Amino acid sequence: MPKYSFEEFMEIIRKLRSKEGCPWDREQTHESLKTCLIEECYETIEAINNKDNENLCEELGDILLQVALHSVIAEETQEFSVDDVITAEAEKMIRRHPHVFGDVVVNDSEGVIKNWEEIKKKEKKANNIAEELLEVPKALPANIRAEKIQRKAAKAGMDFEGYKQVLEKVYEELKELEESIEFGDKSNIQEEFGDVMFSVINLSRFLQLNAENSLTNATNKFINRFVDIFALAESRGQNLCELTPREQDILWREVKLSLD
């Protein structure tokens, strides 16, 4: 199987975007490719989670395709080129690793992260914590964005003393949500529900847990148990969809006990 160089790969993408190329590729824009980029990133994460190196190699290629497409689209309008993308990233890596490419000394990864954040802050020209909060991308997954915001706010001293205080806040927000539900105010229910979620993310931070991973694991657990009760119902000649909620709950508890 022939091996292609990076430049040969870029020429393939430029050919796809040319008049003699692919109609679909020619129609793409930065905007239209946003969903593709997000999907490819998540598919790459899935390959990593599955420890599937063959699939990981393929998915990384798909991410590279997205980088190449965006770069070629920009080349066509003379905004920037793939060489500009590579150069800017190379310069950033050198700039943000003075302990490797300069004379700064760090003793551990914690020191690396601290230096990285300080250098990043200077690059973004944020003058204070408030400006840093505003610069956290809104397009991040909500869980990840909430945690980033909370960590930055903690730098300014706006934080709880320990997890027990955070738990109290969670209970407080749950109570406010319950009251909103009783009043039937939909807009307020949504606001209070968001406050509950934000507080739970804060709790995960204090417990040193990854909220995104925790929710993913809980979802996977639910799927596995649902599949098990579906199979259990079928083995008994029952249609799960036709069972009452109480009958479904009995099956759920039976499966849960068998797994515990």
Residue recorded with tokens 């793409």: 28
Among residues 103, 35, 30, 101, the alpha carbon closest in space to that of 71 is found at 30
* pLDDT at position 125: 72
Multiple choice CATH, 6-80, 3.30.1780.10, 1.10.20.60, 3.40.50.12780, 1.10.287.1080: 1.10.287.1080
Residue recorded with tokens 């991410």: 63
Q: Dihedral sign for Cα 211, 213, 219, 222, please.
A: negative
* pLDDT at position 256: 87
Residue recorded with tokens 């956290």: 136
* pLDDT at position 113: 85
Task: Return the half-sphere exposure (C-beta side, CA atoms, 13 A cut-off) of residue 232.
Answer: 18
Q: Dihedral sign for Cα 205, 208, 213, 219, please.
A: negative
Q: CB neighbours (10 Å) of residue 140?
A: 13
Give mean pLDDT in consecutive 10-residue pieces for the chain, a chain of 260 residues. Answer: 93 96 96 95 94 97 98 97 97 94 88 84 78 89 93 90 95 96 91 96 95 91 93 92 92 86
pTM of the model: 0.73
